[in-house]
Chains A and B, each alone.
Chain A
């Protein structure tokens, strides 16, 4: 019966085709996590202040009643700050001191892709304040504030391009950064290389400034930090490093400390020194950044100092371009004794008096001696100050832990125990200075 056979074969083919179609069905459904780029609200920068200390005048947008968890607070009151005891059942001290969040969200299509020119003829794209959208929200923790922010934004917030987070000094000093950093570490989108900086006074201000050099304000802030690192003027202390140091027992984290100058520009004015996650001090002078970097032995040297030329009137500007440091530790009378050796190589950039004979080896040697003396004094002052503050930002404790493990294991169990010891530690600082070039002039 060939006819029936043929029929059966036809059925079989049809079944197979159907089966293949059914199997391919799951492939055409797309994916759960599909999210078009214009459907996400890309957060470029965040500023976190204490709610009470934020500059007045601006109305808070995360009012009572705007979200389901705020139902209990009275919508009629003028006070739009988080009600201290409202909703969510959280009571007591943690209910107070909300964070005030300012976010910079990229406006799709307004972000210039290349340097300059990209905007074409449209006049709008050259105005920095139009490339981003600045929003405010409040919350007890960073994530709660972000959720309140989400309530105001149609698109899903995306943190993959978050480049800079500014926290106010008041928040860092009074409450520490625990409420801030946990979310950042837990969220897979956030980069560990994001810059976390402490701003003197109001952090939100940095999100609202619109510097003319870069069309996206947050990217300008990021560039400020990145270029300072490249020029050797600042250590590469990004957020991931902060998080690592915050759990080390022999080393305290530091963060960049910035302040807003006239209106639009920022100044990197030093380092915020931490004890764990809480800020305790700032470096006293800009030169302390140099001292810190010299002790780390990191990167290209970039700082220049003005030194008086011994025996003559006038000064020269001396700039380091290479540095190397070596720290050794041994035990002396039951306390750690550190020998710090630093080698600097640099250039002379400028002299203030034509009488200074730079081609005279004796003058050069005298300048080098002066650089060495000032550098060493700077280091000593910096170390003494941290000893007084009872914090160890350089990480001398890590040298003890790594190189004298037996002593460390016997004497140190907590961060505080090390810092008590650190106050008694002694130092021997040696510095070698070599001038390599004097520029395009012969004398």
Chain B
């Protein structure tokens, strides 16, 4: 058992980790996913997706609280046996490595398309990955501190921009709330796509054992989900209200366009997209930091190594190569939507399986007295 060294993470820090992980690269395309699935019912689709994500996060947290000093890699082996659990962990590692690379690639694509038009996408992608790799070498306390530190820089401008943008909103554009020609299948698919944007929160499985009081972990999960959901919902609601559902579908990154259309009153800033991109780089970094650290730590525990620092570096080329695989931006988005929905089976299904088996076998982890 490796843990025990850093059990310092507080409930607030855990919430901060989750919020800044949940708010990531997906925010840019989010209103488009929502509008494509349910046109004016986009906010409803988003809400459904967030409920699915909450269930997934709650499952990870609950099974983590049952084994308060272990990660999913360790208790997995005790619950369903060594080799089935190892397969599960290996799939998780592969999945989060792919998720990390696609996130970095999506970031690189946005930067190259919207700001640095002549910079190669490989450069913008690898800069972000290197940052994530270097940061991931830190321990869980530093990890939590870093997230807490960045949180205000994400939340305050994030909410600020959306609230300012509401000035241009036409609320007729988000009615009827069920959507015109509601189509249950496409709404369900859209909800899954949006739930998939929240999968970084799986990092909770490594946060719980580092917490000072793991029994309060569920509280931080729910709080984090409430805050992140508020931003998600407001973003979708405002974007569709400003552009209309039809136009939102046509925009590659509706949230970025929203920032472009919004002015800071008093002729201070005539377009907020620059400000938005700064915020968004921070948000992407914190999400990447989480998924990269998650991948490295899972790999470390699977391989039985004592330290994850070197793995962070060794992972980098693999993650970068995966990031460069999608041929173009359209293929990249198809991969993100498809892989995200498949991943839900893993990130929601696997903890659910472990929880059910652990409850049936009446297994529980120990919380050592010294904490």
Residues of A near any B CB (own CB < 8 A) = 31-33, 188, 191-193, 240, 243-245, 247-249, 395, 398-399, 401-403, 405, 408-409
Closest partner residue, chain B, to A33 (CB atom): B116
| A192 close to B247 (CB less than 8 A) | no
A188 to chain B, nearest CB (A): 4
Q: Note all chain A residues with C-beta closer than 8 A to B178.
A: 405
| B270 close to A32 (CB less than 8 A) | no
| B244 close to A402 (CB less than 8 A) | no
| B263 close to A193 (CB less than 8 A) | yes
Q: How many residues belonging to B are interface residues under a CB distance threshold of 8 Å? A: 29
B11 to chain A, nearest CB (A): 39
| B114 close to A248 (CB less than 8 A) | no
B101-118 interface with A by 8 A CB criterion: 113-118
Report the 6 A-B pairs with minimum CB-CB distance, sorted nearest first: A402-B175, A244-B247, A32-B119, A405-B176, A247-B246, A188-B114
Q: Residue A240 contacts which of B123, B172, B261, B270 (CB distance < 8 angstroms)?
A: B261
| B271 close to A402 (CB less than 8 A) | no
Cβ proximity bits B180-206 to A, threshold 8 Å, 1 near / 0 not: 110000000000000000000000000
Q: A31-B116, A33-B116, A240-B261 are in contact. Are A405 and B180 (CB under 8 A)?
A: yes
Q: Note all chain B residues with C-beta closer than 8 A to A244.
A: 242-244, 246-247
| A32 close to B261 (CB less than 8 A) | no
Q: Note all chain B residues with C-beta closer than 8 A to A240.
A: 243, 257, 261
Q: A31-B116, A33-B119 are in contact. Are A409 and B271 (CB under 8 A)?
A: no
| B260 close to A32 (CB less than 8 A) | no
Counting residue pairs across A and B whose Cβ atoms lie within 8 Å, the total is 65
Cβ proximity bits B135-178 to A, threshold 8 Å, 1 near / 0 not: 00000000000000000000000000000000000001101101
| A402 close to B40 (CB less than 8 A) | yes
Cα–Cα distance between A33 and B271 once the two chains are bound (Å): 20
Q: Note all chain A residues with C-beta closer than 8 A to B176.
A: 401-403, 405
B250 at the interface (CB under 8 A from A): yes
A186 to chain B, nearest CB (A): 9
| A408 close to B116 (CB less than 8 A) | no
Can you show 21 pairs from A to B with CB atoms below 8 A apart? A31-B116, A32-B118, A33-B116, A33-B118, A33-B119, A191-B270, A191-B271, A192-B257, A192-B260, A192-B261, A193-B271, A240-B261, A244-B244, A248-B246, A398-B172, A402-B40, A402-B172, A403-B175, A405-B176, A405-B178, A409-B180
Closest partner residue, chain B, to A405 (CB atom): B176
Closest partner residue, chain A, to B113 (CB atom): A188
Q: Note all chain A residues with C-beta closer than 8 A to B247.
A: 243-244, 247-248
Q: Note all chain B residues with C-beta closer than 8 A to A33.
A: 115-119
- Additional 8 contacts, C-beta under 8 A, given A33-B115, A188-B113: A33-B117, A188-B117, A247-B244, A249-B246, A399-B172, A402-B40, A402-B173, A403-B176
B44 to chain A, nearest CB (A): 13
| A408 close to B180 (CB less than 8 A) | yes
Cα–Cα distance between A244 and B250 once the two chains are bound (Å): 9
A205 to chain B, nearest CB (A): 27
Closest partner residue, chain A, to B251 (CB atom): A185
B118 to chain A, nearest CB (A): 5
Closest partner residue, chain A, to B261 (CB atom): A192
Closest partner residue, chain B, to A236 (CB atom): B168
Cα–Cα distance between A246 and B173 once the two chains are bound (Å): 14
Q: Note all chain A residues with C-beta closer than 8 A to B115.
A: 33, 188
B120 at the interface (CB under 8 A from A): yes
Residues of B near any A CB (own CB < 8 A) = 40, 113-120, 123, 172-173, 175-176, 178, 180-181, 242-244, 246-247, 250, 257, 260-261, 263, 270-271
Cα–Cα distance between A188 and B257 once the two chains are bound (Å): 9
B342 to chain A, nearest CB (A): 31
A48 to chain B, nearest CB (A): 22
Q: A402-B40, A403-B175 are in contact. Are A32 and B244 (CB under 8 A)?
A: no
Q: Residue A248 contacts which of B113, B117, B123, B244 (CB distance < 8 angstroms)?
A: B244
| A247 close to B250 (CB less than 8 A) | yes
B39 to chain A, nearest CB (A): 10
Closest partner residue, chain B, to A408 (CB atom): B180
B246 to chain A, nearest CB (A): 4
A189 to chain B, nearest CB (A): 9
Cα–Cα distance between A348 and B33 once the two chains are bound (Å): 51
Q: Note all chain A residues with C-beta closer than 8 A to B244.
A: 244-245, 247-248
| A193 close to B116 (CB less than 8 A) | no
Q: Note all chain A residues with C-beta closer than 8 A to B118.
A: 32-33
B347 to chain A, nearest CB (A): 33
B230 to chain A, nearest CB (A): 24
Q: Note all chain A residues with C-beta closer than 8 A to B119.
A: 31-33
| B180 close to A32 (CB less than 8 A) | no
Q: Note all chain A residues with C-beta closer than 8 A to B261.
A: 192-193, 240
Cα–Cα distance between A193 and B115 once the two chains are bound (Å): 18
Q: Note all chain B residues with C-beta closer than 8 A to A398.
A: 172-173
Q: Note all chain B residues with C-beta closer than 8 A to A191.
A: 260, 270-271
Count chain B CB atoms within 10 A of each CB in A249, A399, A401, A409 and give the residue with the most.
A401
Q: Note all chain B residues with C-beta closer than 8 A to A249.
A: 246
A41 to chain B, nearest CB (A): 16
B70 to chain A, nearest CB (A): 38
Cα–Cα distance between A103 and B118 once the two chains are bound (Å): 24
Q: Note all chain B residues with C-beta closer than 8 A to A247.
A: 244, 246-247, 250
Q: Note all chain A residues with C-beta closer than 8 A to B173.
A: 398, 402
Count chain A CB atoms within 10 A of each CB in B178, B244, B271 and give the residue with the most.
B244
Cα–Cα distance between A399 and B246 once the two chains are bound (Å): 15
A86 to chain B, nearest CB (A): 30
Q: Note all chain B residues with C-beta closer than 8 A to A402.
A: 40, 172-173, 175-176
| B116 close to A32 (CB less than 8 A) | yes
Cα–Cα distance between A245 and B40 once the two chains are bound (Å): 15
Q: Note all chain B residues with C-beta closer than 8 A to A193.
A: 260-261, 263, 270-271
Cα–Cα distance between A31 and B118 once the two chains are bound (Å): 9
B329 to chain A, nearest CB (A): 13
Cα–Cα distance between A240 and B244 once the two chains are bound (Å): 11
A155 to chain B, nearest CB (A): 15
